[in-house]
Amino acid sequence: MDNRTFARLLEETADLMEIDGADSFRIRSYRRAAEAAEQTTLDLSAIAGDAARLLEIDGIGKSMAARIQAIAATGTLEQRDELLRKYGAGVLELLKLPGMGPKTVALLWDAGVIASGDSDSPSSNSIDQLAAAIEAGRLNGLPRMGAKQIEKLRKGIEDYRRSAGRFRIDVADEQARQIAAYLKKFPGIERVTPAGSLRRGRETVGDLDLLATGPACAAGQTGPAVEHVAAYPGLHDMIARGENKVSFHVEQGLQVDVRLLPGESYGAALQYFTGSKAHNVALRQRALKMGLTLSEWALAKLDDESVVVAAATEEEIYAALGMEWMPPEMRENLGEIERSAQHDLPRVIEAADMRGDVHMHTTASDGRSSIREMAGAALECGYQYIAITDHSKNLAMTNGLDEKRALEHIRKIHEVDRAMEGRLRVFAGIEVDILADGALDLADEVLAQMEVVIASVHTRFEQSREEMTARVLRAIENPYTRILGHPTGRLLLRREPFALDTGAVLKRAAELGVAVEHNAAPERLDLCDRDLRLAKELGCKIVINSDSHDARNLGKMGYGVRQLKRAWLTAEDVLNTRDAKGFLALLRARP
């Protein structure tokens, strides 16, 4: 059971308790524990038997430690199960509807709109009940259930049934680029900035927030700009349109909220809508202690909100609160508030810090570009070195290299390296398969001639946690393994990470000097930000690579850099921020 499962069970218990009218202090303790479980780098399953270790986690007290132990022992939480028996599992699905919080669910329950049913049919017994009640007019006259709210729920049910999914960061980013380019064609819209989870660099997003400003967005003058937004060619269906906000879906089902803002409030809105929720709550509490109030409109005096202290830029707002501005990726309430107030934030890594990319594929296996084409693209990225790391023979579907072809490939890579005449170093490498028993897919005498050997799991994902952990540990024990590639094997929104004792693998990698990869391909982003923090804590060497299969994809390294920023990694923490000589020197020494 991973930490996110612990967090989900605790959060769901808090939601159910709120529906049930439980004490607010107890509810907050569950939510705080859920946040702590999500963010800690400790493996809760591994330490569940040690109450003292659990109590070391900020946000976990004695009662919550006992509940975590119960979850580890049983896979569930009795209080949650009791409440689900009372209300039905479908209430958890109701909470996924826009504008549907625990208090609204409680209102619908008390009014008899929803009722407990077959807990094995979570969506049918609550979502369907609510939809039927809306059609029958049974919500009319209920508190807080005006025509607009009822229509919002109706639309929310339609959207939920059509697509309850999330979207990869690159998909959302591309939509943001296209919509922003369209918006800026309108005279008087000067700036469009993504906010929300996309701006914070989350690996997936649920919706897309765009903030627009300029003369056309001034109060009382937004009508023509709203019409322009509503005419976006990629709009699939309209959700809502008002004086300052237009919400719609694009074809893929992604919800887009465009907000038109006056320039004088742009910084406050950008800070507010970027989040995270926990970061904003902590920031508002800090403002209150200083006699100020913070909203999406301004940082103002608490006793007279007409007196604006800061609003135009985020930097002004943070400075007025006695803090330094921080990159959006750091805003998850993981200590950045306190460090910022002390003016002690680390300088996190930037894309400009990268000097090389040492995981990419060519036409020798399953890539679409030649060695020379990859080298040319790397020069355009400003890199000083790359490694060509095609697949090994176990992946027949990728035309992987056997020993004979691998040796010939090394010769061709060295030819291109010489042809670069010092403008770019081109290292010979391989992404060698970790076989089911942990052996590597190529003979050691061939691996010995490679400068960069990345060992990766590509098959047999169904192995147990114990089997997979032993498999990976054996692979990194091989003296020629220099980097562990995409360590958990996940494919975002397609395949969950395989079962692995990540902590044990990272600890052993640190001991051996094997670097661990953050695979920046947006479909992977593996290791995740949490595991990157753990890798740093354990003293692992860290490398970030694009895993490009096309020369055009080398530029996607930035998606991975954002995950490193979310983990608070600096350029010093990442090996390929060094020049070619420094990078090779820091890799595990070859026999």
- Supply the pLDDT for residue 120: 39
pLDDT over 70 at 345, yes or no: yes
Assess whether the previous peptide bond of 29 is cis (omega < 30° from 0).
no
- Characterize the bridge pairing of strands 167-168 and 204-205: antiparallel
- 3-162 matches 275-341 in fold: no
For residue 429, what are the β-bridge partners? 452
| Distance in angstroms (rounded) separating the CA atoms of residues 423 and 382 | 10
pLDDT over 70 at 163, yes or no: no
- Supply the pLDDT for residue 122: 37
H helix intervals, 275-402 = 277-289, 314-320, 336-341, 371-380
| Number of residues assigned to the chain | 591
Instruction: Please name the CATH architecture into which domain 167-261 falls.
Output: 2-Layer Sandwich (3.30)
- Supply the pLDDT for residue 251: 77
DSSP 8-state symbol, 526: B
- Supply the pLDDT for residue 161: 64
- Supply the pLDDT for residue 541: 98
Q: Which fold has domain 275-341?
A: Beta Polymerase; domain 3 (3.30.210)
pLDDT over 90 at 413, yes or no: yes
Residue of 162, 168, 179 whose CA lies nearest to 234:
179
Looking at every residue in the chain, the average pLDDT score rounds to: 92
Query: Could you state, in order of their start, the residue ranges of all structural domains in the chain?
Result: 3-162, 167-261, 275-341, 351-586
CATH code given to domain 351-586: 3.20.20.140
pLDDT over 50 at 493, yes or no: yes
- pLDDT tens digit sequence for 73-112: 998 899 999 999 888 878 888 887 877 889 989 998 888 8
Which of 149-158, 328-337, 486-495 shows the lowest mean pLDDT across its residues?
Answer: 149-158
Q: Is 83 helix (H, G, I), strand (E, B) or coil?
A: helix
- pLDDT tens digit sequence for 130-147: 888 888 888 888 888 888
* Residue 555 pLDDT level (bands cut at 50, 70, 90): confident
DSSP 8-state symbol, 384: S
Structure token digits, residue 58: 């900020």
Instruction: Please name the CATH architecture into which domain 3-162 falls.
Output: Orthogonal Bundle (1.10)
| Distance in angstroms (rounded) separating the CA atoms of residues 61 and 583 | 44
Answer for the pair 416, 372: CB distance below 8 angstroms, yes or no.
yes
- pLDDT tens digit sequence for 242-260: 999 999 999 778 999 999 9
Answer for the pair 247, 257: CB distance below 8 angstroms, yes or no.
yes
- pLDDT tens digit sequence for 441-473: 999 999 999 999 999 999 999 899 999 999 999
| Distance in angstroms (rounded) separating the CA atoms of residues 175 and 173 | 5
* Residue 125 pLDDT level (bands cut at 50, 70, 90): low
Q: What's the gap between Cα 421 and its chain centre?
A: 40
| Helical pair 529-537 and 502-512, crossing angle rounded to 10 deg | 40
Say which residue, 116 or 170, is predicted with more confidence. Answer: 170
Give the pLDDT mean for 541-552.
Answer: 95
